[in-house]
Amino acid sequence: MRAVRAAVNVLADTDPTSQTPGSRTSLHITADEPCFEGHYPGFPILPGVCVIESVHRSALATHPERATVEHRLAAIETARFLQPVYPDDVITVDMSWQRRDGAWRCRAVVGNPRGESARVRLRYEPAESTP
């Protein structure tokens, strides 16, 4: 599986000191993305792992502590895929953040021009901590 090459565009980013920080990004998933090769022949859709990667990249770009602390993805807590993402779709990733038990949880809703594509929850911990 090859990684998604689409650039993450930050559309909105709330104050990281707010009680419930949130952000919104977009990614243009072009038809020449390598991950479309073979998934599926004659009916290309973005693999679910690439949807999660798009959320992860969006989360790293907007993490509330990104300016002061490096974080690592500690867990994919949930992922529910609702609709496919097709070549040339522009997806949006709406994220809300919550700090709990020393970690940050990112709840994300991935949208496409037809509605919701996925709901994903990721957990981030400081990069220097060990599992």
**Helix, strand, coil percent content, the chain, rounded in steps of 5:** 15, 45, 40
Of the candidates 39, 56, 63, 71, the residue annotated as catalytic is 39
The strand pairing partners of 92, in sequence order, are 26, 111
Q: Give the C-alpha separation, 117 to 81, whole Å.
A: 6
Active site residue 39: yes
CB atoms within 10 A of CB 41: 7
Of 36, 38, 55, 44, the C-alpha closest to 94 is: 55
The catalytic residue positions are 39
